[in-house]
Chain A
Amino acid sequence: NAGVTQTPKFQVLKTGQSMTLQCAQDMNHEYMSWYRQDPGMGLRLIHYSVGAGITDQGEVPNGYNVSRSTTEDFPLRLLSAAPSQTSVYFCASRGQGAGDTEAFFGQGTRLTVV
C-alpha cells in the first residue's frame, strides 16, 4: 500500500520558473491538502480539496494553484517561483468517515528557489 506519494523529493528552481509538485494517494480519500513547512513556523495550509472538482484556499495560497480532476491526484502548481517559496512541501490526505479523520502525509518535496 503506497499511501501518499509525492514527487519530486528535491527540486531547485530559478526565480520566475514554474513547476508542478505531484501528489497521489491510493486510499480513496476525499480530503487532500497541501502544506508548507518553514523553520519555526510549523505547517501552513496552502490549498485543500474536499473532493474531485472542489478546491479551496488555505492561509497562504498566493503564488500557488491547485486542481483536483480525480480523487487520487492533487497537483500543486507554482506559477512564477520566488525565493520566498523555498520550503518543504507536504501533501496529506484523509478520509471522510467519523472514524477516519487521521491524516496521511507524503514524504515531502524540498524546494529551493534561487
Chain B
Amino acid sequence: GDSVTQMEGPVTLSEEAFLTINCTYTATGYPSLFWYVQYPGEGLQLLLKATKADDKGSNKGFEATYRKETTSFHLEKGSVQVSDSAVYFCALSPFNAGKSTFGDGTTLTVKP
C-alpha cells in the first residue's frame, strides 16, 4: 500500500536558519503530494502541493519539489521565523482514490 516517511523530529532551529524536512513516499501511479501545517490547538491546513513530477509547490517562503526519480518531496525554507513553529505533515493523495496517506509529522520549534 501507499506510505509516507518523514524525517523524525523534533527539529529546533534558531530564527533565520535554513530548514529542510525530508519526505519520501511509496505509491502506485502518480499521486499528488502535499505539505500540511498544524498550529497548536488547530486542525491541519494546506501549506503547499504539487500534482505532477517536477512541479514545485510554494507558499509563505516554503518550497517543495515533486521528485519522481527519488520519490521525494522535501520541504525547505531559507529563513525560518518564530511564527513557523508548528507540526508539519507530508501527505499523498492518489488520483480518484478516497484515502490520503500522511506521514507521522515533524514538530518544528524556532527560537528567537
Contacts and interface: CB of A to CB of B under 8 A. Distances in A.
A101 B95 CA distance: 7
B46 A102 contact: yes
B43 interface: yes
Contacts of B51: 98-99, 101
Contacts of B66: none
Nearest 5 A/B pairs, CB to CB? A42-B104, A105-B43, A50-B98, A101-B32, A101-B93
Contacts of A49: 98
**Which bucket holds chain B's interface residue count?**
20 to 34
Interface residues of A, number: 29
Interface of A: 4, 30-31, 33, 35, 40-43, 45, 48-50, 56, 58, 90, 92, 94, 96, 98-99, 101-108
A25 to B, nearest CB: 13
B104 to A, nearest CB: 4
A45 B49 contact: no
